[in-house]
Amino acid sequence: MAEIAPNTSYVAVLGWSLRAIEAIDRFNRKYIVVAPSWAEEYAKDNAIPYIPWEFERLNDRSVELYERLAEEGVEVAVPLYEETVEWAGAINARLQNKPRLFPQSLLFRDKSLMKRRAQLAGIRVGVFEEAHDRDDVRRFLLRVNKALLKLDGDPNDPIHMKPFDKAGTYGHRVIKTNEDIDAISDDEFPCLLESHLDGKEFACEVFIHDGKIRFLNISEYVHLGYSVFIPASPGLEEWRPQIRKAVEHLIQAFEIEHGLIHPEFFITHDGNLHFGEVAYRVPGGNAFELIERAYGFNAYQAHVLVSDPKATEQEIQNFFPREVVDAKGFAGCFLVYPKQRVISDIDMPEAVENDPYYEKHDLFMPANPKVAERVAFGNHYGTVYFFGDDPDRMRELLLKQEEYDFYR
């Protein structure tokens, strides 16, 4: 552990991520990791401060974790994974004596509740509904398309179906036809249905302290579920003032004081900003790695910093660089999904290895050579990282990756 700065909070990290632990270990806050018992041996062997805990649904025993942490002297809980967000809410509510933090965290754990909250605050969202069975989905698809004045036989506009409480694109389905609806299994209900928004989708990583935006990153999706780069291209960055305003609106609506949010928006063709969804934790899809590569600061440390109510103005100002202008270049990544059904080894295409923008990959060869069928946008096999100074070239390069097979 690095030297601990005076007048800082003792932080509990909820969830196990070696990258996060490594970064926080190098940071200047006292910390302890709370993770399932399978991590115990590794933590013990490597002298990582650790408390075992199984994060299931909150239950009567949840208070035990609070008591453990309070006894330990922990002052702030920081969630790493979607599943630990409500735990952090519950624990921080007690630790910081702010009872509303717990119900607030639940807003992020139920996408339907989240949309309602946004709508109540006057934020523009698409049409959405909760579905409990396939008939609900059928009706929603029909009603949305009717509203769009589709005639019989016209192809439907798609709708989106998402689990209430899963991170990112996990379990996300795009539905256009009755066959799509038949393919939904019973255990995917209840879920959220949304109308489709045509337009450019993008995500932000927003570091918030004391209710104020301390750093706003815009991640440009080149192809949702496949490729993204940071900072966004000038074309998207042009929208930064509007985006900043929308994020501020969101912060007010969700009453966020400290921490990191990860909202997704659409810019429609008519120039309107629509809210998609927001997570109150570390983003998936490697955004943190890209931020570090582009700006040089460690986003896990940033997350801990802004989560700490004791962090001073000065410390925060010293920590964060200026948005966009301080970026050393564009950092992009491509999520790899094998094209073949059975793979025998990683096979990096020569063209990729020889590209001056290519940096590294973290592809792995799974124990099972049979490739799992891709469900929605999920389960990629690894990431290929790029870095360069031309956003257009980056975009082209990332799109080009879709032609390659990274496995043989």
Partner 1 sequence: MSGTGHDKAERLAAQLAEELDRLEAVKPFAKLNYQGHICDLTLRLLKEPQGVQWLYEQAARFDRAGVFYGGDWAHPALLQPALVSASVRGPALSVAIESLSELRLLAIATGEAVNDEITPDGARAFLEDALARNLDLLFPQSSEVARAERTPLLEGVHRLFRFIADRLGTQGILESTVNEATRILRQRPILVHHVREMIDAAVQALAGPGSGAVYEQARRLTNAVHGPSALSRSAASLEHYREALVELDAGALAAEAQTFAHSMHETGLVSPQHAVLLEHILAKNGDEGIARVLGLDSVGRDSLDAYSELVRRLIGRITHPLLAQSIYGLACMLNRGVLFFPPLAPGLWRLTRLQIKAEVAAILQRLVDDSPTPSANALLLAGTVSVLGQPLGVGQGDNPTCQSARAISLWSQCDPGFLLELITWAARDNEVDMHFEGQLLRSTELQTGGVAELHTELDPVSLVLVPHLDRIYWEMGRRIAGRGEDGHKWINPEFHGWWVQRGFATVIQYSSGDVIDFEGFMRLFYISYHPAYNGARQLIYAQPAGIAATDKNAQFIGWHAVSIQRVTVDQDGEVRVYFYNPNNDGGQDWGQGIVTSTAGHGEFPGESSLPFKQFAARIYVFHYNTRELGDPAAVPAAILSEIAALARASWARGVGWHELVSSR
Question: Binding to partner 1 by residue 389, rule CB under 8 A?
Answer: no
Contact residue for partner 1 among 148, 360, 372, 389 (CB under 8 A): 360
Q: Which is nearer to partner 1, 12 or 352 (CB)?
A: 352
* Helices first, then strands: H and E counts in the chain: 15, 16
Residue 349: is the preceding peptide bond cis (ω within 30°)?
no
Min dist. Cβ of residue 42 to partner 1 (A): 7
Does the CA dihedral 292-295-299-301 come out positive or negative? positive
Question: Binding to partner 1 by residue 116, rule CB under 8 A?
Answer: no
What is the C-alpha end-to-end distance of the chain, expressed in Å?
42
Q: Which is nearer to partner 1, 25 or 157 (CB)?
A: 25
Min dist. Cβ of residue 135 to partner 1 (A): 47
Instruction: Draw the binding track, 13-52, toward partner 1 (x: CB under 8 A; -: no contact).
Output: -----xx-xx--x----------------x--xxxx----
Q: Is 78 helix (H, G, I), strand (E, B) or coil?
A: strand
> Which tokens belong to 344?
């025998």
The CA distances from residue 147 to 119, 150, 156, 195, 287, in Å, are: 20, 8, 11, 11, 37
Q: Which is nearer to partner 1, 44 or 139 (CB)?
A: 44
Applying the rule CB under 8 A, the residues between 330 and 359 that interact with partner 1 are 344-348, 350, 353-354
Min dist. Cβ of residue 352 to partner 1 (A): 11
> What span, in angstroms and rounded, lies between the C-alpha atoms of 184 and 177?
12
The CA distances from residue 59 to 82, 100, 119, in Å, are: 17, 18, 30
Question: Binding to partner 1 by residue 361, rule CB under 8 A?
Answer: yes
The CA distances from residue 142 to 85, 148, 177, in Å, are: 35, 10, 10
Min dist. Cβ of residue 387 to partner 1 (A): 12
Min dist. Cβ of residue 329 to partner 1 (A): 16
Q: Which is nearer to partner 1, 37 or 344 (CB)?
A: 344
Q: Which is nearer to partner 1, 194 or 289 (CB)?
A: 289
Min dist. Cβ of residue 361 to partner 1 (A): 6
> What span, in angstroms and rounded, lies between the C-alpha atoms of 120 and 136?
23
Q: Which is nearer to partner 1, 19 or 94 (CB)?
A: 19
Taken as a whole, the chain contains a residue count of: 408
**Cα–Cα nearest to 311, from 3, 2, 9:** 9
Q: Which is nearer to partner 1, 185 or 364 (CB)?
A: 364
Min dist. Cβ of residue 46 to partner 1 (A): 3
For binding to partner 1 (CB under 8 A), which residues are involved?
18-19, 21-22, 25, 42, 45-48, 344-348, 350, 353-354, 360-362, 364-365
